[in-house]
Structures are given as C-alpha cells and as structure tokens.
Amino acid sequence: MSVAPTTYAVETDGLVKEFAGFRAVNGVDLRLEPGKVHALVGPNGAGKTTLFNLLTGFLRPTAGRVIILGADTTGLPPERIARRGVARSFQITSLFDQLTALEHAELALQAASTVGYRFWASEGALERYRNRSRELLAEVGLADLASRPAGKLPYGQKRALELALAIALDPRLLLLDEPTAGMGVEDIRRTIDLIRKAHAGRTVVLVEHNMGVVAELADQVIVLQQGRVIAQGGYAVVREDPAVVAAYLGQAHA
C-alpha cells in the first residue's frame, strides 16, 4: 500500500459492523480531508450512527481499521480516542441530568487535565474554568440557564448544551450526530452559525437529515445506504446522483 501524501482526518479501511449477523456498516472506506465540513447523510437505519460509534470507540468493528488524525485507533476505548482530540455529540440527547449547565461546561473544559482526580480538593479548584464556562454557555444561548440542572432544561436548550459540550473540548475532529434534530427554524439558524464558527481550524463530520443545513454547511457529502457509501462529492453533484435519488425515493425527508 502506498503512503498517502496527506494525513486524513478520518480514514477507514473495509470497516464492518455486524449485529447478530446483520451488517449495519458493510465495508466502508472513508478518506476525509482535514479542515472541511463533511456531511454524512442517508435514510434511517443506513448506519450513520453506527459509523460514528465505530469512529469514537463506542463500538468495536467486526472487521476493518479506523485511522484518526493519522493514528490507528481501532479498538481503543472512547476516552482514549476523545483524548486524541475527537469530540462527538449524540443523536439522542445525552447529558448529566443532575449537573447544571455550568458544571457540564466545566467538566468538558477540565477533561484534558487531571483535576478530576483531586478528591481532596474543594470545588474551588474548578473556579478557573468558570469564566470560560460562562462564555461558552453564552455562545450557545444558555447564559441565563447556567445554574439549572440539565435534566430540567427545555429540549432546545438540551440540544444546545449537547453541542456546547463537544465544542468545549476544543477538538481537532468534531463529530455531530443530527445537531438540529427536532429544532425550530430559529434554533436551526443559530446552530448553523455555531457549527460554522466552531469549524474554524477543525474537521467537522455532520450527520444531518435537513438538506438545507447540509447545503449550507457541507464541503463534502457522503451518502450512506444499508451500511455502504453509495455516493460522495459536493452537495450539488451528489443530489443529482441517480443512486442517491433512488435511495431517497419514498423517504419522507430529503
């Protein structure tokens, strides 16, 4: 195999994930260029979230390799991959219900340090993350809700916090699983702006059903169907692709 001239942000070779004989991801070879926004689209059940779980270590591949930012991460646990500069958000909002929005931001900001092991220190040790935490919450429109437990936030604000957590890690690779799911027009607008801002200096991979968002943000679109990549390229090209049109026929969204 020849050595690639560039280091891809994400590279997979023959990636397969089987669930009890069913192939949710079925031989995916990705080469994602760094610094771009890549949209991962496809009908429900195409394997998008499963692919995310493979990239972030939440699932072990049945076969194939994952190379992230130039290093082989196949089989590494999620926290080791996260510590290499990979942040993800979850399709189904995934927060710490008893912790406040501010504590969420602090947890994310301190994750790179070892302050979390200090069982002998007072909570004052977290003070130095407070300003940046408040800034971050303000950026996603949560300034007024900083001291509310996440479990008691309205849905839209939970999604915003979900995104804030990923951004707070200051990752090199940002994986967002349907960041605008269930949002109203205004929130979608703000989320697009946020992602665009967060994109500076980073690679973003975005699972998205809203084609307006894809058209606006994505440099590159990858279409997944039944665990396989059926098309990739610019949005304008991909949406004319006969295979893609066929895949989306009968699908409610597009």
Ligand X SMILES: Nc1ncnc2c1ncn2[C@@H]1O[C@H](COP(=O)(O)OP(=O)(O)OP(=O)(O)O)[C@@H](O)[C@H]1O
Instruction: Tell me: does residue 83 bind other proteins (CB under 8 A).
Output: yes
Classify 149 as helix, strand or coil.
Answer: strand
> Binding other proteins by CB under 8 A: which of 27, 31, 34, 115?
115
Instruction: Tell me: does residue 88 bind other proteins (CB under 8 A).
Output: yes
Give the interface size with ligand X as a residue count (CB under 6 A): 11
Residue list 139-158, contact with other proteins (CB under 8 A): 147, 149
In the bound complex, what is the minimum distance in angstroms from residue 113's beta carbon to other proteins? Answer: 9
Instruction: Tell me: does residue 49 bind Mg ion (CB under 5 A).
Output: yes
Distance of CA 218 to the CA centre of its chain: 14
In the bound complex, what is the minimum distance in angstroms from residue 85's beta carbon to other proteins? Answer: 10
Q: What span, in angstroms and rounded, lies between the C-alpha atoms of 116 and 119?
A: 8
Give the interface size with Mg ion as a residue count (CB under 5 A): 3
Binding mask 151-190 vs ligand X (x if CB under 6 A, - otherwise)? Answer: ----------------------------------------
Q: What span, in angstroms and rounded, lies between the C-alpha atoms of 247 and 41?
A: 11
Amino acid, res. 16? V
Cβ proximity of 69 and 7 under 8 Å: yes
In the bound complex, what is the minimum distance in angstroms from residue 173's beta carbon to other proteins? Answer: 13
Instruction: Tell me: does residue 91 bind Mg ion (CB under 5 A).
Output: yes
In the bound complex, what is the minimum distance in angstroms from residue 50's beta carbon to Mg ion? Answer: 8
Q: What span, in angstroms and rounded, lies between the C-alpha atoms of 66 and 192?
A: 28
The vertex-113 CA angle with 125 and 152, nearest 5°, equals 65
Q: Considering beta carbons, is residue 46 or 166 the nearer one to ligand X?
A: 46
Per the listing, tokens 């991801």 go with 25
Q: What span, in angstroms and rounded, lies between the C-alpha atoms of 207 and 7?
A: 22
Amino acid, res. 20? A
Q: Two tokens at 124?
A: 């004052």
Q: Considering beta carbons, is residue 38 or 88 the nearer one to other proteins?
A: 88
Residues at the site binding Mg ion, with contacts judged by CB under 5 A: 48-49, 91
